[in-house]
């Protein structure tokens, strides 16, 4: 990362990695952009949630990104899976592919002989559907479409630099994407990060392609470096792909990584309905879940946790309109928002504790109850509105905000983050 100038302030004892976790579309990326006051990650527009690979945001005096890719065996596996589908119209295609594989990749696939990778077509539809979806995303830039497996297989052969098994035509855009991926294979082979600095031609397009476009399935870790003051003390923000992209194009299942101990922290992002069951289930069985295990205080991990509630502004607009329609004298939207914040904070804290606590209150010893009470107090709740934060900043008369900067919750969360990063990891002695 030297080329990009990754240089957390040496006066800080190290990095504090804080993961933003939550359902897809709940507002994680928008919130991160508000916190950093730049467009650091792509947030969903009309098309819904977009984050496909985890993006690590860290301090760097020069702005840029670096991608670490999956090994080339990822492409070979996908190609192998598609061969099985195409075998009936192109006999021998699998054998020819295996013969061209590097011995270690071939051995890897053969070791998994009993696994899904080598299952005959029809036996394990999951892997073929996955391979089709990913190949389509790589070649056509989207996971859905009508292209035949034979066409996808030809594209993958092109990417790998192999003769195409069947003659297939491609458009210019597809050819450009395939050539682009082919040019990245050396980085995959050498596990060398691919780095681009802001200001380079096509920086935005390249970053978007890695984050949520045709390259996203190949990315293992995407690191964005920025000279953002909040990150200066060594805070690393991780924008995790949301739950709901439960199995993404790379076959990853959420959560990719969860904080597990020293130097790590978590921000759980939810709307006013609280944490969905699937997320609380994943959290309960993770090291984070031990935070809530009041019977085992000794093994409680040291993970600062904050709860963030989004989309309360939507509730406010609805309630405002409803009360006005009923002919009530309605206080300002800001007052309605504040009332919601007061109501939601304790409610959500309680809900989350109930969802994540391992034991019923009746099972707790007195010590356990005390621990639980202390924990409950120690979890911060922030009600935020990234869209309102944006409006305050734009100061656009036609798009007037209804909140003051402080009410948007963004400065409060930024202060919490600054606090955990300076009291974060202890420097090694
Ligand atoms: N009304 C409202 N919309 C929001 C809020 N936060 C995010 N959004 C919108 O929700 C959509 C998804 O947001 P995004 O940040 O991409 O969600 P992510 O998938 O969790 O990263 C975008 O269109 C945002 O503008 C919020 O607090 N209130
Ligand atoms: Mg996102």
Mutation probe of ligand 1 site: the residue of 21, 43, 212 with most atoms within 8 A of C-beta: 43
DSSP 285: T
Coil, strand or helix: which one is 364?
coil
Residues with CB under 6 A from ligand 1: 22, 24-30, 43-45, 49-51, 242, 310-311, 313-314, 385-387
Atom of ligand 1 nearest to the CA of 271: 27
Q: What is the CA radius of gyration of the chain?
A: 24
Question: pLDDT per residue over 206-254, tens digit each?
Answer: 999 998 889 988 998 899 999 999 999 999 999 987 765 544 555 555 5
Question: pLDDT per residue over 130-159, tens digit each?
Answer: 889 889 999 999 888 899 999 999 999 999
Coil, strand or helix: which one is 26?
coil
Are 258 and 283 a contacting pair, CB within 8 Å?
Answer: yes
Taking 70 as the threshold, does the pLDDT of residue 10 lie above it?
no
Coil, strand or helix: which one is 401?
coil
Domain 10-56+235-420 is found in CATH 1.10.3470: no
Question: pLDDT per residue over 310-368, tens digit each?
Answer: 999 999 999 999 999 999 988 899 999 999 999 998 888 888 777 777 555 555 555 55
**Separation of alpha carbons 375 and 300, rounded Å:** 11
Strands 55-59 and 235-239: antiparallel
Q: Which of 79-83, 238-242, 291-295 has the lowest mean pLDDT?
A: 291-295
User: Could you tell me which of 68, 35, 72 has the C-alpha nearest to residue 54?
Assistant: 68
Q: Is the pTM of this model over 0.75?
A: yes
**Distance between Cα 43 and ligand 1 center (Å):** 7
Q: Which of 100-104, 127-131, 180-184, 372-376 has the lowest mean pLDDT?
A: 372-376
**Domain spans, the chain:** 10-56+235-420, 73-189
What was the pLDDT predicted at 362? 54
User: Could you tell me which of 136, 116, 128 has the C-alpha nearest to residue 85?
Assistant: 128
Atom of ligand 1 nearest to the CA of 33: 15
Please tell me the residue having the least CA distance from ligand 1 atom 7: 27
**Separation of alpha carbons 345 and 350, rounded Å:** 9
């Amino acid at each position: 990362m030297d080329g990009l100038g990754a240089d957390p302030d040496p006066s800080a004892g190290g990095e504090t990695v804080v993961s933003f976790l939550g359902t897809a579309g709940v507002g994680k990326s928008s919130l991160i952009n508000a916190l950093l006051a730049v467009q650091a990650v792509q947030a969903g527009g009309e098309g819904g949630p977009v984050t496909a690979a985890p993006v690590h945001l860290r301090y760097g005096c020069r702005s840029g990104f670096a991608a670490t890719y999956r090994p080339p065996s990822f492409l070979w596996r996908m190609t192998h899976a598609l061969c099985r589908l195409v075998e009936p119209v192109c006999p021998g295609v699998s054998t020819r592919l295996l013969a061209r594989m590097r011995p270690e990749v071939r051995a890897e696939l053969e070791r998994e002989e009993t696994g899904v990778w080598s299952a005959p077509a029809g036996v394990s539809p999951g892997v073929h559907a996955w391979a089709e979806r990913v190949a389509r995303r790589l070649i056509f830039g989207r996971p859905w479409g009508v292209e035949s497996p034979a066409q996808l297989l030809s594209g993958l052969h092109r990417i790998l630099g192999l003769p195409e098994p069947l003659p297939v035509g491609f458009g210019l855009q597809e050819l450009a994407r395939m050539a682009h991926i082919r040019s990245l294979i050396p980085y995959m082979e050498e596990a060398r990060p691919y780095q681009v600095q802001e200001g380079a031609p096509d920086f935005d397009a390249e970053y978007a392609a890695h984050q949520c476009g045709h390259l996203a399935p190949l990315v293992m870790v995407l690191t964005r470096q920025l000279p953002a003051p909040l990150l200066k003390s060594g805070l690393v923000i991780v924008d995790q792909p949301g739950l709901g992209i439960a199995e993404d194009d790379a076959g990853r299942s959420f959560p990719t990584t969860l904080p597990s101990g020293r130097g790590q922290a978590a921000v759980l992002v939810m709307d006013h309905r609280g944490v969905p069951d699937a997320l609380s289930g994943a959290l309960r069985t993770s090291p984070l879940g031990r935070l809530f295990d009041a019977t085992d205080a000794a093994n409680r991990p040291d993970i600062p946790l904050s709860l963030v509630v989004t989309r309360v502004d939507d509730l406010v607009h609805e309630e405002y309109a409803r009360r006005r329609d009923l002919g009530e004298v309605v206080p300002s939207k800001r007052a309605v928002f504040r009332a919601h914040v007061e109501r939601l904070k304790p409610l959500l804290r309680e809900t989350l504790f109930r969802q994540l606590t391992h034991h019923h209150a009746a099972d707790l010893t007195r010590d356990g109850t005390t621990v639980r009470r202390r924990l409950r107090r120690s979890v911060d709740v922030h009600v935020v509105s990234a869209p309102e934060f944006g409006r305050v900043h734009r100061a656009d008369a036609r798009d007037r905000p209804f909140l003051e900067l402080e009410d948007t919750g963004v400065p409060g969360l930024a202060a919490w983050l600054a606090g955990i990063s300076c009291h974060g990891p202890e420097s090694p002695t």
